[in-house]
Structure 1
Amino acid sequence: MSTNEDDNGKVWDLAEKIGFCMLTTQAGMDLKARPMSAYAERIDNAFYFLTDVASHKDDEISRHPNVCLAFADSKGQKYVSISGTAEVQNDREKIRDLWATPAKAWWDDADDPSIRILKVTPSSAEYWDSPGTMLSYIKMAAAAVTSAKPDMGDNAKVQM
């Protein structure tokens, strides 16, 4: 397996493990981010989200489909930023496939006609996978004493 394939797999692994991300869209001249529960599907090369037809993000995406997904596990010092193209779909079968307990906070059931799928097809990503907070602090302290750069773990830019 090539390094790019390893890095690509690492992006998917981290995003799947973290699960929640900040979805950033463009609203006029401003950027807006909001937390979303992501459903990562490598086989489709896509991230899926359940959204409401009346939400502002759907309008923003129709005008500016380029988005950013920012995943963060601050305790584990693991981060992923994914750039991609978003589209809103009314795929009722996919909605039923993705329906899970967290969605019940927003809708009564998967057949609610206001539910839509937000599909993000990734184009590139970058990840940071550090060994953890305590070890990172120790490495930074050692680097400060020795004037060396600390090895803070893996970091790679990936074409998806």
Structure 2
Amino acid sequence: MNRSTFMTKINQQHVWEMIEDINICMFITWDGSRQRARPMAHMPRQDEHAIYFFTDATAEKDGQIEEFPIVTLTFVDQSKNDYVSLTGTATLSNDRTKIEELWSPMMKSWWDGPEDANLRLIRLVPEDAEAWDGPHDVVSTIKMVAAAAGLGKPDMGDSGKVRM
């Protein structure tokens, strides 16, 4: 089938659903000479068209974001063969009301509480994404193995670029 006529379920809503199902993403910044990546827990809020992260006021990535606010997030769910790469603009915030709203007891591992003076927020506004929603069942896996053995082409699922 011609790629231009290929129908895909990858759209903005589907991308939001995919990232909501994946708990940790790689948060990639630019320091002026190299990219820097680190795993981070994210808090997507589709109704605000934003993805939030807690960060420490002393974190190196905060300075990188202030100087180079365009960042990339990558999400992987190997159990479903789902992958998302998302780019957007990040800003730092000390919005204590929002911090308290997003706070969860799991954050106690890093900060004393939502009132911790070093706790900050990163707010990322997604601009575009590229997503791959792979086949999720055993039959598809068998078909991929067969294709690797030269027995036809596998169903690789859906993929697409999306303006967020």
User: In the alignment, residue 123 of structure 2 is paired with which amino acid?
Assistant: K
Distance 1:133 1:52 in 2: 40
Superposition pairs of residues 61-72 of structure 1, within 5 angstroms: 61-72=65-76
> What TM-score, normalized to structure 2?
0.89
Q: Structure 2: any 5+ residue segments left out of the alignment? A: 1-6
Structure 1 Cα separation of the partners of residues 116 and 148 of structure 2: 56
Over the residues paired in the alignment, what is the CA RMSD in angstroms? 1.9
Partner of 2:155: 151
- 1:156 Cα deviation from its structure 2 partner: 1.1
Percent identity of the aligned residues? Answer: 42
Q: Which residue of 2 aligns with 1:120?
A: 124
Paired residues in the alignment total 158
Higher helix share goes to which structure?
Answer: 1
2:55 aligns to what?
Answer: 51
Give structure 1 stretches of 5+ with no counterpart. none
**Contact 1:75-1:133 at 8 Å conserved across structures:** no
**How do residues 9-158 of structure 1 correspond to structure 2 at under 5 angstroms?**
9-132=13-136, 134-145=138-149, 148-158=152-162
Q: CA deviation at 1:57?
A: 0.5
**Residue deviations 1:95-133 (CA, integer Å, cap 9, x gap):** 001101221110011000111110000000011111237
User: What SS class does the counterpart of residue 18 from structure 1 fall into?
Assistant: coil
Check whether the contact 1:48–1:118 (CA below 8 A) recurs between aligned residues.
yes
* 1:147 Cα offset (Å): 5.6
Instruction: Tell me the equivalent position of 2:3.
Output: none
